[in-house]
Amino acid sequence: MRRARLTFLAAAVLITGAAPQAAAERLITSLSQHRVMVTSSFTGSEVVLFGGIERENGQLPPHGSYDIAVTVAGPRQDIVVFRKERVLGIWVNYDSRVFDNVPSYLSVLTNRPLDAMAGAETLRRLQIGLDNIPLPQRSDHGAADPTGDEPFRAAFLKLKEDHQLYRQESNGVTFLTPALFRASLPLPAEVPIGTYEVDVTLFADGAPIARTPSALEIYKAGFEQIVTTSAQTHGLIYGIITAMMAILTGWFASVVFRRD
Protein backbone atom coordinates (compact mmCIF):
# COMPACT_ATOMS: atom_id res chain seq x y z
CA MET A 1 0.00 0.00 0.00
CA ARG A 2 2.84 2.36 0.92
CA ARG A 3 4.66 1.51 -2.34
CA ALA A 4 1.53 2.33 -4.36
CA ARG A 5 1.19 5.67 -2.57
CA LEU A 6 4.83 6.59 -3.30
CA THR A 7 4.39 5.62 -6.92
CA PHE A 8 1.29 7.91 -7.19
CA LEU A 9 3.12 10.86 -5.59
CA ALA A 10 6.11 10.43 -7.92
CA ALA A 11 3.81 10.43 -10.96
CA ALA A 12 2.06 13.58 -9.69
CA VAL A 13 5.40 15.35 -9.28
CA LEU A 14 6.47 14.39 -12.80
CA ILE A 15 3.18 15.62 -14.31
CA THR A 16 3.34 18.90 -12.37
CA GLY A 17 6.93 19.49 -13.39
CA ALA A 18 6.21 18.74 -17.05
CA ALA A 19 3.21 21.11 -17.30
CA PRO A 20 4.27 24.59 -18.46
CA GLN A 21 3.15 27.52 -16.34
CA ALA A 22 0.68 29.83 -18.07
CA ALA A 23 2.06 33.31 -18.66
CA ALA A 24 -0.58 35.97 -18.01
CA GLU A 25 -0.23 39.02 -20.24
CA ARG A 26 -0.93 42.60 -19.24
CA LEU A 27 -1.39 45.59 -21.53
CA ILE A 28 0.16 48.98 -20.75
CA THR A 29 -0.83 51.89 -22.99
CA SER A 30 -0.26 55.63 -23.08
CA LEU A 31 -1.34 58.47 -25.37
CA SER A 32 0.97 61.20 -26.61
CA GLN A 33 -1.68 63.68 -25.39
CA HIS A 34 -4.94 63.21 -23.54
CA ARG A 35 -6.47 66.56 -24.51
CA VAL A 36 -6.70 68.10 -27.99
CA MET A 37 -7.65 71.75 -28.35
CA VAL A 38 -9.81 72.87 -31.29
CA THR A 39 -9.60 76.48 -32.46
CA SER A 40 -10.78 78.36 -35.55
CA SER A 41 -7.58 77.36 -37.39
CA PHE A 42 -7.86 73.66 -36.53
CA THR A 43 -7.29 71.52 -39.65
CA GLY A 44 -6.95 68.15 -37.99
CA SER A 45 -4.49 66.46 -35.69
CA GLU A 46 -2.98 63.11 -34.79
CA VAL A 47 -2.59 61.41 -31.44
CA VAL A 48 -0.08 58.59 -31.06
CA LEU A 49 -0.81 55.60 -28.84
CA PHE A 50 2.12 53.64 -27.43
CA GLY A 51 1.70 50.26 -25.81
CA GLY A 52 3.58 47.39 -24.29
CA ILE A 53 2.86 43.77 -23.36
CA GLU A 54 4.03 42.48 -19.99
CA ARG A 55 4.25 38.81 -19.04
CA GLU A 56 4.24 37.54 -15.48
CA ASN A 57 7.18 35.21 -16.04
CA GLY A 58 9.26 38.06 -17.50
CA GLN A 59 9.89 36.24 -20.77
CA LEU A 60 9.62 38.07 -24.08
CA PRO A 61 6.82 36.88 -26.36
CA PRO A 62 7.81 35.16 -29.61
CA HIS A 63 7.79 37.41 -32.65
CA GLY A 64 4.43 37.65 -34.38
CA SER A 65 2.51 35.78 -31.68
CA TYR A 66 0.22 38.69 -30.74
CA ASP A 67 -2.37 40.86 -32.49
CA ILE A 68 -3.64 44.28 -31.41
CA ALA A 69 -6.97 45.99 -32.14
CA VAL A 70 -7.44 49.65 -31.20
CA THR A 71 -10.99 51.06 -31.22
CA VAL A 72 -11.57 54.79 -30.78
CA ALA A 73 -15.21 55.85 -30.31
CA GLY A 74 -16.34 59.46 -30.10
CA PRO A 75 -19.31 60.95 -28.24
CA ARG A 76 -22.59 59.24 -29.01
CA GLN A 77 -25.42 61.08 -30.72
CA ASP A 78 -28.54 60.60 -32.82
CA ILE A 79 -27.93 61.00 -36.55
CA VAL A 80 -30.56 61.20 -39.30
CA VAL A 81 -29.93 59.72 -42.76
CA PHE A 82 -32.26 60.68 -45.64
CA ARG A 83 -32.98 58.83 -48.85
CA LYS A 84 -33.78 61.04 -51.81
CA GLU A 85 -36.05 60.11 -54.70
CA ARG A 86 -37.14 61.95 -57.82
CA VAL A 87 -40.79 63.06 -57.61
CA LEU A 88 -42.27 65.01 -60.55
CA GLY A 89 -38.79 65.90 -61.69
CA ILE A 90 -37.67 67.20 -58.27
CA TRP A 91 -35.36 65.40 -55.84
CA VAL A 92 -37.00 65.24 -52.40
CA ASN A 93 -36.31 63.49 -49.09
CA TYR A 94 -38.49 60.41 -49.58
CA ASP A 95 -37.54 58.33 -46.53
CA SER A 96 -35.29 58.61 -43.49
CA ARG A 97 -33.84 56.63 -40.61
CA VAL A 98 -32.64 57.86 -37.23
CA PHE A 99 -29.52 56.13 -35.91
CA ASP A 100 -29.91 56.05 -32.13
CA ASN A 101 -26.99 56.76 -29.82
CA VAL A 102 -24.24 55.85 -32.29
CA PRO A 103 -20.60 56.99 -32.12
CA SER A 104 -20.05 60.32 -33.85
CA TYR A 105 -16.48 59.16 -34.58
CA LEU A 106 -15.18 55.62 -34.93
CA SER A 107 -11.72 54.40 -35.83
CA VAL A 108 -10.59 50.75 -35.80
CA LEU A 109 -6.85 50.16 -36.14
CA THR A 110 -5.20 46.73 -36.27
CA ASN A 111 -1.82 45.25 -37.18
CA ARG A 112 -3.38 42.94 -39.80
CA PRO A 113 -6.84 42.20 -41.24
CA LEU A 114 -9.47 41.43 -38.62
CA ASP A 115 -10.52 38.12 -40.16
CA ALA A 116 -6.92 36.91 -39.77
CA MET A 117 -6.83 37.89 -36.09
CA ALA A 118 -9.97 36.22 -34.73
CA GLY A 119 -13.18 34.46 -35.73
CA ALA A 120 -16.28 36.33 -36.82
CA GLU A 121 -18.22 35.37 -33.69
CA THR A 122 -15.45 36.64 -31.40
CA LEU A 123 -15.23 39.97 -33.24
CA ARG A 124 -19.01 40.34 -33.18
CA ARG A 125 -19.14 39.64 -29.46
CA LEU A 126 -16.40 42.17 -28.75
CA GLN A 127 -17.91 44.68 -31.24
CA ILE A 128 -14.59 45.20 -33.03
CA GLY A 129 -14.73 46.39 -36.65
CA LEU A 130 -17.14 48.57 -38.60
CA ASP A 131 -19.19 45.53 -39.61
CA ASN A 132 -19.63 44.51 -35.97
CA ILE A 133 -20.58 47.84 -34.40
CA PRO A 134 -24.30 47.95 -33.46
CA LEU A 135 -26.04 50.80 -35.29
CA PRO A 136 -29.68 50.68 -34.12
CA GLN A 137 -32.00 52.68 -36.33
CA ARG A 138 -35.64 53.64 -36.39
CA SER A 139 -38.03 55.49 -38.61
CA ASP A 140 -39.53 58.81 -37.56
CA HIS A 141 -42.41 57.06 -35.79
CA GLY A 142 -41.08 53.54 -35.29
CA ALA A 143 -39.19 51.84 -32.50
CA ALA A 144 -35.45 51.28 -32.60
CA ASP A 145 -34.28 48.27 -34.57
CA PRO A 146 -30.87 46.79 -33.59
CA THR A 147 -30.34 45.46 -37.11
CA GLY A 148 -32.17 48.00 -39.26
CA ASP A 149 -32.28 48.35 -43.01
CA GLU A 150 -28.99 47.40 -44.64
CA PRO A 151 -29.19 50.12 -47.37
CA PHE A 152 -29.45 52.84 -44.72
CA ARG A 153 -26.62 51.30 -42.70
CA ALA A 154 -24.40 51.15 -45.78
CA ALA A 155 -25.27 54.75 -46.67
CA PHE A 156 -24.55 55.87 -43.11
CA LEU A 157 -21.13 54.19 -43.09
CA LYS A 158 -20.26 55.66 -46.50
CA LEU A 159 -21.18 59.19 -45.41
CA LYS A 160 -19.08 58.85 -42.28
CA GLU A 161 -16.13 57.41 -44.22
CA ASP A 162 -16.33 60.21 -46.80
CA HIS A 163 -15.98 62.75 -43.97
CA GLN A 164 -13.13 60.68 -42.45
CA LEU A 165 -15.14 60.19 -39.27
CA TYR A 166 -15.33 56.39 -39.62
CA ARG A 167 -12.33 54.35 -40.70
CA GLN A 168 -10.82 50.89 -40.45
CA GLU A 169 -7.12 50.31 -41.14
CA SER A 170 -5.56 46.85 -41.16
CA ASN A 171 -2.06 48.34 -40.92
CA GLY A 172 -2.85 51.03 -38.35
CA VAL A 173 -0.88 49.29 -35.58
CA THR A 174 2.86 48.72 -35.88
CA PHE A 175 4.88 46.39 -33.66
CA LEU A 176 8.23 48.03 -32.86
CA THR A 177 9.39 44.92 -30.99
CA PRO A 178 7.56 41.68 -30.11
CA ALA A 179 6.29 43.42 -26.96
CA LEU A 180 6.05 47.11 -28.00
CA PHE A 181 3.64 48.68 -30.48
CA ARG A 182 2.35 52.06 -31.62
CA ALA A 183 -0.71 53.38 -33.44
CA SER A 184 -1.52 56.80 -34.91
CA LEU A 185 -5.06 58.02 -34.20
CA PRO A 186 -6.09 60.45 -36.96
CA LEU A 187 -8.43 63.31 -36.03
CA PRO A 188 -9.97 65.12 -39.03
CA ALA A 189 -10.94 68.79 -39.07
CA GLU A 190 -14.62 67.90 -38.54
CA VAL A 191 -13.93 65.86 -35.42
CA PRO A 192 -16.74 66.30 -32.84
CA ILE A 193 -16.12 67.83 -29.43
CA GLY A 194 -16.30 65.60 -26.36
CA THR A 195 -14.76 62.60 -24.62
CA TYR A 196 -13.46 59.69 -26.71
CA GLU A 197 -13.13 56.10 -25.53
CA VAL A 198 -9.90 54.36 -26.56
CA ASP A 199 -10.09 50.58 -26.20
CA VAL A 200 -7.07 48.32 -26.85
CA THR A 201 -7.55 44.55 -27.14
CA LEU A 202 -4.75 41.98 -27.21
CA PHE A 203 -5.29 38.73 -29.15
CA ALA A 204 -3.27 35.51 -29.10
CA ASP A 205 -4.11 32.57 -31.35
CA GLY A 206 -7.46 34.14 -32.21
CA ALA A 207 -8.58 34.65 -28.61
CA PRO A 208 -8.74 37.92 -26.62
CA ILE A 209 -6.44 37.68 -23.61
CA ALA A 210 -6.16 41.28 -22.37
CA ARG A 211 -8.00 44.55 -22.72
CA THR A 212 -7.37 48.06 -21.44
CA PRO A 213 -9.38 51.29 -21.79
CA SER A 214 -8.29 54.92 -21.80
CA ALA A 215 -9.83 58.28 -22.65
CA LEU A 216 -9.14 61.23 -24.92
CA GLU A 217 -10.80 64.65 -24.67
CA ILE A 218 -11.32 67.07 -27.55
CA TYR A 219 -12.41 70.55 -26.49
CA LYS A 220 -12.91 74.02 -27.92
CA ALA A 221 -10.94 77.04 -26.77
CA GLY A 222 -10.82 80.75 -27.47
CA PHE A 223 -13.64 82.87 -28.90
CA GLU A 224 -15.46 79.83 -30.34
CA GLN A 225 -15.82 78.32 -26.86
CA ILE A 226 -17.12 81.60 -25.45
CA VAL A 227 -19.78 81.77 -28.17
CA THR A 228 -20.76 78.11 -27.69
CA THR A 229 -21.01 78.43 -23.90
CA SER A 230 -23.05 81.64 -24.17
CA ALA A 231 -25.49 80.06 -26.62
CA GLN A 232 -25.99 77.05 -24.34
CA THR A 233 -26.22 78.78 -20.96
CA HIS A 234 -27.81 82.13 -21.91
CA GLY A 235 -29.90 81.35 -24.95
CA LEU A 236 -32.26 84.35 -24.73
CA ILE A 237 -29.50 86.92 -24.22
CA TYR A 238 -27.42 85.29 -26.96
CA GLY A 239 -30.37 85.50 -29.38
CA ILE A 240 -31.03 89.18 -28.58
CA ILE A 241 -27.36 90.12 -29.04
CA THR A 242 -27.17 88.18 -32.30
CA ALA A 243 -30.28 89.95 -33.66
CA MET A 244 -28.92 93.37 -32.63
CA MET A 245 -25.58 92.63 -34.32
CA ALA A 246 -27.39 91.65 -37.52
CA ILE A 247 -29.42 94.89 -37.46
CA LEU A 248 -26.34 97.04 -36.79
CA THR A 249 -24.39 95.26 -39.54
CA GLY A 250 -27.19 95.92 -42.04
CA TRP A 251 -27.45 99.57 -40.98
CA PHE A 252 -23.68 100.07 -41.23
CA ALA A 253 -23.58 98.48 -44.69
CA SER A 254 -26.41 100.76 -45.88
CA VAL A 255 -24.50 103.82 -44.65
CA VAL A 256 -21.22 102.79 -46.25
CA PHE A 257 -22.67 101.87 -49.63
CA ARG A 258 -25.33 104.61 -49.74
CA ARG A 259 -25.43 106.57 -52.96
CA ASP A 260 -25.71 110.33 -52.65
The predicted-structure confidence for 94-144, as pLDDT tens digits, reads as follows 778 889 999 999 999 999 999 999 999 999 999 999 999 999 888 765 555
* pLDDT given at position 10: 43
Strand ranges (E), the chain: 25-31, 35-38, 45-55, 66-73, 76-87, 90-103, 106-110, 137-138, 166-169, 173-177, 180-187, 194-204, 207-220
Residue 66: is its pLDDT beyond 80? yes
Residue 172: is its pLDDT beyond 60? yes
The predicted-structure confidence for 203-229, as pLDDT tens digits, reads as follows 998 899 999 999 999 988 765 555 655
Alpha carbon distance 204, 118 (integer Å): 9
Coil, strand or helix at 18: helix
Which residues, 6 or more positions from 31, have their beta carbon under 8 angstroms from its beta carbon?
47, 48, 49, 50, 185, 198, 214, 216
> What average pLDDT is seen over the chain?
81
Report the amino acid identity of residue 59: Q
